[in-house]
Each structure stands twice: as structure tokens, then as C-alpha cells.
Amino acid sequence: MNDQQLTKKPNLKFLFLFCFFASLLSFGQKSIRGTITGVDGSPLPDATVLEKGTTNGVQSDIEGKFSLDIANGNATLVISYLGYLSKELAVNNQTNITIVLEEDASELDEVVIIGYGSQNKSKITGSVGFVDSAELDDAIFTDVSQVLQGRTSGVNIINGTGEPGSPARIRIRGNNSINGDNNPLWVVDGVPVSGIPSFSPRDIASFEVLKDAAATSIYGARGANGVVIVNTKRGKKGETQINASSTIGFSEPLARFNVLNGQTYAAYRNEAAANGGGAIPFANPSDFAGQGVDWQDLVSQTGIRKEFDVSMSGGAEKMNFFTAVNYINEKGIFKNNDYERANLRANIDFKALNGLLDVKLSNALTHTVRKGGSFSEGGELSKNQGGIFSAAASEPLVPIDFTGNASNGLLFQNPYLYFTESQRRRAETRILSSIQSTIDIAEGLTFTNNSSVDFFNSSNGLFTPAQLGGEAFLVNGRIRTSSAEQFNFVISNYLKYSKIFSEKHDFNILVGQEYNGFNTRSVSTISENLSTNLFGLDNVGVAGSQLASSNRVEANLQSFFGRLDYSFSDRYLLNATYRADGSSRFSENNKWGFFPSFGGAWLVSNEEFLDDSKISNLKFRVSWGQVGSQAIEPYQSLNQFQSNNVFSTIGNTSSIGIQPANTAGNSELKWETTTTFDIGFDLGLFNNALEFNVSYYNKKTQDLLQLVGLPAQDGFRNILVNLGEVENKGLEIGIFADILRNKEFNWSSSLNLSMNRSKVLDIGTAPRLFPADGQAFTNVFVNTNVYEVGQPIGAFYGWKADGLIQESDFDTSGNPTFSPFNGGETLGGNKYVDVTKDGVLNIDDRVVIGDPNPDAIIGWNNDLSYKDFSLNLFFQASIGNDIANASRYILSTNSANTLQEYYDNRWTPSNPTNNPRYPRPGINNPDTFNSSIIEDGSYLRLKNVTLKYNISLPERWKTLSALEVSLTGTNLLTITNYSGLDPEVDSFDSFRGQGGLFGLDFGTYPTTRLISFGINAQF
């Protein structure tokens, strides 16, 4: 290129022609604004507005408003909205229009997702709960598992800890298993996944919860505990939309332990020492007036939660897309406790082969990092639950950097150093990717392949320096590390055929095959005797001794399934499902399980005799079916061996050897089988302005997988066998009411009530089973939950308290008139009921002392709107469940510091109370798990309040289509008689078999109250 070319003058003719035609195009274009509402005047957000014959279109904002540039004033608009009749409207040179859409009764239930397909909501014969994205936008969620709490009947969700990033416990219609898994199966965009999905809840479009066997049996061996189907958001045809939101919130604990100050503590320790016959540790307690370390305050801080989310969606005739980026940074309420999560999603849908091929790509990448938080150096079942609990239990009359023995003579574990000097880091990366391809083979016949990978990588590190005390002091510092890599994949292939004969007989047939592969590798290390603490977790090479172990697990599941749906005249519905699963986890003779189900329904509202009635929907339904569970660790049917450090008396040396594992193999292992009968009805009145959903179910699980002890000479400790039967039965009621709806004010309300009763029917020849047999987190809490015939699943089991020992409990010769426990005869000590009446108190006198299962759980949601304001109020309640308040027990009897409430009511010669919760301090009072620890855990909670204001924007702001600000309060009010920090607690549900320890409150990370401010913009 030369200089002459660079300085060449522009072609003026070309510029003139370009400007002329551009001006013509601009002159012909027209901007049209409008609002889309229903017949009742309520706005319809996300309605699609297209210029007919083009791909030019937009979606309405949260107020139903839209703005679109069209070719000219003679264009025609096509307006569509899910569940409503589409409408074409000629613009006729208008600039602002109001469009009213009418509901399409035939389309209102078209979007229900079921296993391997979709179905009209009205034609479902099973028990299914539904939650859409509108209910998810009004609360603050960090984890997907939290979203369903109180939103649908039959689902019991407990956020057992307030630690940032901790998942909730989910049970659908009760616990089924002792040693097997009790968690539901999660299905994301048609793909079964392992565990709870870890992506952002903001990516979710809707949930379907499959509860009975007619709905879950299509998932066979993985459906025994219910199925949660997650549908993520996808793009729609029309102009690209961008949604950006940001929230910031501040949190504090709902409550804290009220323990003694320095002066009162000194007096208390003196009293306890005198009662126990020991030396007085503090000469003059009044010297400590106004003194004492408030350890709880010292280790606490105001929590801060920040979340940012940006999504973009749109599409054309043959391709739609939805992409999102989400980031959460949460600083917990304790020092050095942080949670970070970054999430990236890309969902792409496109059509090919002239529309015959439909492809859906779903991809999610999540990375989380958790630092600090609730952990115990001594392991998950430790008497000391780390700094959170010890902050309340610790002696206040020592310096904040103190190490050594406290005034009670025990080794002091400094809670402040615990948070500031120890380190814990948990990092996880997960990739969930799937591709679903559906091709139309012939009229009514389609073939679908759904292939997915679920990759999960995690690392965990815990550094505890010697100065923390406890076990770390004994080994001169310790570093624990572990890492795991999971690679799971699912390949599904199925054919679907749909045909209507004679305009009355509607058949839908599904047949398919599926293969699941599960692969896990893990490595763990323990490094002790650290030469320096400078490197923390980052250099295990400074350890004087190291122990490493590794593991690899591989399993697979091969399945074949089929389903037949038949409808006659859209009134009489039949459903039949059959699935065969072959699992590598079981022995050669028992690898295959077969799971059938049948369902039927009568859609009465489609009968002619109800044509002119106020009943818009009435359906009676009944179902029966079986599902299985293979949720045990692989290789349980085989004898397993493990490495161990074996000491030899010859030469006093040790070496690595091989020894039998604790559990012997059982070649006769087979599936747990759950059989469910369900009957119910759905009723809608006044064009479904008032709806009722009622279900009764009876669910029995047979061939329970449970551990049975073996004689020591066998070389194994126990063996896993099929033995026993449990039952869950209950009633579920859901009510929805569109109470008031007009152009300015709307109010809708939904209430769901779930009542489940569990019972152990058979456990073989043993009188009772303990899910956590012989394993405990203190010397008190051993075998706290029991499986006993005729009793609820996991009932509390212990001694029945009978008050405190008084002077009147002795005869004139000084002999006790009661049965002492382990020689305890001191005044003010605990008494217990001698159930066997043999004059001796021992383990045979234990009985069922409580039930951690709630009698009822309730969720009540209210949505109100007035003009540009909207308000959401969500209440939840649990009624009739008991809690073992271990925190209170330990802080009253076995800790350095104690509760003010215990101190004020304790037994003394001048206050000879008979309340077993307040025994005399310092005496030889044997520790027992007894009925005085059990409390009523019922509560009513205002779980969420969200106030939103939609800011009206000037018409000239074409780029910004909607702007909304919000204020949200979480856990604002709780009404309860429970004396612990929070009645919504479950310290050890994840321990052993997932059905083992539950209803226990001990040292749990406190639940928080959160106030959040948010802004949401749509472009």
C-alpha cells in the first residue's frame, strides 16, 4: 500500500447513497411499547413478542412491559406465553398498546417433566410436587438443597447447620434404610447425578418432586427415597436479554450460649470442687469482678454475604441459548471462616436436519472453597466440637493465648487459637455436562440419546498446631489431608411412541436402556510431630512421622426400562412402568432387581356432567409400585482386606501387613425393596383459583441392609445382611388460593402440610438395633438412636429420669430407697427409673425416651403485590419432634464453664430442686443418656421476608428494560420452647448409614439471621 492510496479521498457518491437508503430505513422503522396482562389484569413476565414473519422479538419484563423496534406501523405482532392462548395483533400505527391474553386450559399442564420425558400435569397418575422459578426468586439460597424447604408437601428439609456452604438434609416421606442411603436421587436436565448438585440455585427454572412408586419406579434401584428433578433455565426465541443482579447481606447468630462471667465462674468452680472433695481453685472469687474472657465474642464477627449473577439468553428459529455466571463470597460469623463459589453455565439448544433433530447441550462448571468453620481435630465424633462449642465451654479466667491445664485440671483447648492458628481448607471442582439428542424417526416415533459426565475433584486439609491443646498437643502438631477424584457417567437410549386412535385412545409408549458408571480414587495422609508451624497446610515434609493410604472404587449399573401411558377420552388414565437394574454391588446370584408399578386416575372434571360447574379440575388417583436401593458401598458381597501397621514381638519392630477388614463379605446380599401404595385426589375450583391436593401413602421397605456382629474368631467384626422391615405412612395436603387479583393488588397463598408416621416392623431375632452401634461422640452419647419393633425409626433410647436424690430417698438407717446407678447416692445426684424392678440399674433399664421424627411439617407461602411493590412472606413449622439437647447437657455437667440458667437453678442444700436438668455440681454423678436431655423441638419460623420495588423507567431508556431493588430478611422470627440455640438442628445426620444419628444438637455451627439488599437489572 502506498502513500497515494492512504490519502485517497472518499467516494462522495457512495456516501450519499448510503445515507439516503439508511434514512429511508430509519424513516420506515417504528418503536412500539406495550404491556401484556392476563384477563384479571395481572402482568405476564417473560411473554414473547415477535414481529410476524421475522426473528425480531423481545420478552416482557417483570411488569409485563416490552419495547420493540418494528419495520413499520403496519407490522403484525405475535404474542405468546406459556399456558395462554397465543395472539396476533396488527399495530396499525399505534405506539403504546395493552395486550390481554386468555388462559389456555389445554396448555396449562403441558410442561411437567417426568422420568425420561414430559406429560400433561392433568394426566399424571402418581404423586408429584411442583416448584417453579417464581417461588425461588424471593429468597436467598446458597445451596440447591435448601430451595425446596417448605415448598411442597412430603419433603422434610433441615438446615442442620448455619455454616456457609453446608447442604441441607432432605427426606422424602421419611427414612427407609438403616445402613443404606436415605437421600433422594437428583436428576438434572434428564440426567441422574450422584449427590446434591453444586451449581447456583439461580440457574434453576423448576423442580418436580416424585414421591410415590408410580412416579419413581422408572428410576428403579435409585428411586427408593424419592426423586428430585431439576430443570435448568434455557433460552427462548427472541431478542437477546441480559439479566444482572447483585446482593449484599449481613448475618449474625440467632442466639448464643449464656455462660458465667469471671466472678460467678470462680464461685461455681469452688462449689464444684468442694462438692467433689477437691481443693478450692480460687481463694476469693470477688477478686474477679468485672473480669473474664468472653470467648464467644472474641471468636465471632459479623458475617457478610455477597453474590453477583449475570445471565444472557435468547435465540432464533433454530437455536436458543442461556449462559450465566454466578459468584458468591460469604464471610462466616466466626473468624477465618470463608466460603467462595464460582459457577459457570452454558445451555444451548438447536435443531438440525430440517427440524428432525433436536439437540440440547447442558454444561455447568462449579468451583468452591471453604475455609475454617465447624470441625473437630479429634474426628467427626468427638466430645470437643472444635472452637465453636469450646468457646462457650472454656474457662474465662485465663489469658487469650493461654495453653496448659485449666482450673478444673483438664488440658485447656484454646478456642481463640483454634480459629486464628489452625487451618482448614476444603476445595471442590465439579463439571456436569450432558448432551441430549432427539430425532424424529416417523410420525409419533422418536429416539433419544442422553449422554453425560459428572467429574468431581475435592481436596481437604486440616492443620492443628500443638499449642491448641487436645490431641494435637499430644502428637506435637498434626496435618490431615485427603483428596478424591470421581468420574461418573450416564448413557441413556430410549424410544418413545405416541399415537391417538379414534380420537379417544391416547397411547404413549417408552422403552429404553441406561448404563451408569461410577469411579472414585482417593488419597489421605496423617502427618504428626511437626518441626515448625510456619507452613501450615502447605508442607507436610516438616512432619516427623507420616501415614498415607489410598483407595479406588469402581461400580456400574445396567438398566432396562419401559412405560405405558393410556388415556381414554382424556378421562380414564392408566400407567404401567417396569424397570430391571443390574448392579455390580451385589453378588452374582442377586445382581438384578425388578421393579414394577401401576397407576390409574379418573379425570372427573372432563365428564360432561361437570361442564357447567365451578369445578375446573377434579382427579382421583391411585397407584402401587416397587423401587429398590443399591446405595451401599461396592464390594460388600466380597471379603475385603486392608493394610495396617503390624507390631512384631520378635525384634520389637513394626511393618506394614494385610489384615481382614471389619466387615465380612456376604454373597447373598440383595436389594432393599420399597413397596408403596398411594391414593389421593386433586381438586381445582373457580378456574383453579382454589386448589387442593391430598395424598395418603403407605410405604414399606423390606430386606433392610444392616450390620450384624460376628464372633471374634471369624476374623471379622460384623457382616452386612438383608434383615428387617420398616414402614412409613402418612397424609399430605396442599392448598393454593388466588385470594385477590386485580389491576393494582394481588394476593396468592399456598399451604402444604405433611404428616408421616414411621414404625419398625421387623429386625430379626435381635430385640433392637443401634445404627451407630458402639460409636459415640462422648462417653454419654452411645447408642442414642434405636431401631426397635413397634417404635418409630431412630427413636431416642436411654434411661428414664426420676428426679434428683433427696434426703427423703433414704430410710432411717441411711439406706437408699431407690436403685442407685453405678453407686451414685449423693444428695442432688440423678435418679432413674428401675424399669425391670430388680433393684439394679443397668442397660436393661433403658427404654424409648423420645422421637426425633416430627408429627407434622408445614410450609406457608404468601405473595402480595401492590402497583410496583411486591412482598413475599414464607413461614415454616415443625411440630412434635424431639431433640436431644446434648449441648445443654455438656455445658451443665461436663464442661469448664456452664450455663447461667443451670447455675441459677442447680441443686444446693438451700435449693433442693427435683428437676433432673439441674443436678448438684461436682459430685460423682454418672453420665447417662436420659430423658432429661430430651426436649420438644417444635417451632414456627418466619423463614423469609422479601420486599421488592420495581422502578419505573423513562421511555427513552430503551437499553434498560427493568430495574428492581429488594430487601430480604432470613430467619427473622422463631417461636419455640426449645432451650437450645436453634430447633432446626441435626448435628450428626451424615454419620453412618445416613439413617443413624439424627435429632441430636451438639456443638453445631449456629444458624444465622441474614438481612440482604439486592438490585436486579434487565437489558
pLDDT one-digit tens code per residue, 797-816 = 999 999 999 999 999 999 99
CATH of the domain at 85: 2.60.40.1120
What is the structure's pLDDT at 772? 58
What is the structure's pLDDT at 650? 61
Bridge partners of residue 896, in order along the sequence? none
What is the structure's pLDDT at 778? 52
347-398 confidence digits (pLDDT tens): 999 999 988 999 999 999 999 999 986 544 333 334 345 567 788 988 999 8
Q: Name the more confident of 776 and 921.
A: 921
Q: Which of 379-383, 604-608, 651-655, 684-688 has the lowest mean pLDDT?
A: 379-383
Bridge partners of residue 596, in order along the sequence? 578
User: In this structure, what C-alpha cell is assigned to residue 14?
Assistant: 457512495
Is 176 inside a domain boundary? no
Among 619, 580, 623, 581, smallest CA distance to 600 is for: 623
What is the structure's pLDDT at 87? 87
For 54, the domain range is 30-106
Q: Name the more confident of 730 and 47.
A: 730
User: In this structure, what C-alpha cell is assigned to residue 341?
Assistant: 463459589
What is the structure's pLDDT at 10? 44
What is the structure's pLDDT at 663? 81
Q: Name the more confident of 17 and 652.
A: 652
What is the structure's pLDDT at 154? 87
What is the structure's pLDDT at 378? 37
Q: Which of 170-179, 500-509, 774-783 has the lowest mean pLDDT?
A: 774-783
Which pLDDT band, with edges at 50, 70 and 90, does 780 fall under? low
**First-last CA distance in the chain:** 43
Q: Rounded mean pLDDT of 321-345?
A: 94
Q: Is the pLDDT of residue 883 over 90?
A: yes
For all residues of the chain together, what is the average pLDDT? 85
Q: Rounded mean pLDDT of 739-747?
A: 84
Is 533 inside a domain boundary? no
What is the structure's pLDDT at 582? 92
Is 421 inside a domain boundary? no
Q: Rounded mean pLDDT of 18-44?
A: 64
Number of domains in the chain: 1
Q: Rounded mean pLDDT of 640-667?
A: 72
Q: Name the more confident of 579 and 16.
A: 579
Which pLDDT band, with edges at 50, 70 and 90, does 546 fall under? confident
Q: Rounded mean pLDDT of 177-191?
A: 85
What is the structure's pLDDT at 989? 53
445-488 confidence digits (pLDDT tens): 999 999 999 999 999 999 988 887 767 878 888 999 999 999 99
Report the alpha-carbon distance of residue 98 to residue 456 in Å, rounded: 50
Contact 431/356 with Cβ under 8 angstroms? no
Is 711 inside a domain boundary? no
What is the structure's pLDDT at 824? 82
Residues whose CB is less than 8 angstroms from the CB of residue 175 and which lie 6 or more positions away in sequence, other chains included: 182, 726, 728, 758, 793, 794, 995
Is 882 inside a domain boundary? no
Q: Is the pLDDT of residue 915 over 80?
A: yes
Contact 262/290 with Cβ under 8 angstroms? yes
What is the structure's pLDDT at 600? 95
Q: Rounded mean pLDDT of 625-651?
A: 76
Phi, psi of 273 (to 5 degrees): -65, -40
Q: What are the percentages of helix, strand and coil residues in the chain, rounded to 5?
A: 15, 50, 40
96-131 confidence digits (pLDDT tens): 888 888 876 554 455 578 888 888 888 888 888 888
Is 398 inside a domain boundary? no
Counted residue by residue, the chain has a size of 1019
What is the structure's pLDDT at 384? 41
Q: Is the pLDDT of residue 820 over 80?
A: yes
Looking at 686-744, which runs of residues are DSSP E strands? Answer: 690-702, 705-709, 718-722, 725-741
886-908 confidence digits (pLDDT tens): 889 988 876 788 999 999 999 99
What is the structure's pLDDT at 488? 93
Side chain identity at 462, as an amino acid letter?
L
Report the alpha-carbon distance of residue 973 to residue 945 in Å, rounded: 10
Residues whose CB is less than 8 angstroms from the CB of residue 770 and which lie 6 or more positions away in sequence, other chains included: 783, 785, 786, 787, 797
127-165 confidence digits (pLDDT tens): 888 887 777 777 777 778 778 888 888 888 888 778 888
- Specify the 3-state DSSP secondary structure of 449: strand
50-94 confidence digits (pLDDT tens): 888 787 878 887 678 888 888 777 888 888 887 788 888 888 888
Q: Is the pLDDT of residue 978 over 90?
A: yes
What is the structure's pLDDT at 623? 95
Is 64 inside a domain boundary? yes
Q: Which of 29-33, 151-155, 492-496, 926-930 has the lowest mean pLDDT?
A: 29-33
Is 90 inside a domain boundary? yes
Residues of the chain with pLDDT > 70, as a percent, come to 91
**pTM: predicted TM-score of the whole model, two decimal places:** 0.85
Which pLDDT band, with edges at 50, 70 and 90, does 511 fall under? very high
Distances (CA, A) of 396 to 272, 283, 897, 900: 16, 16, 8, 14
Contact 506/480 with Cβ under 8 angstroms? no
Which pLDDT band, with edges at 50, 70 and 90, does 646 fall under? low
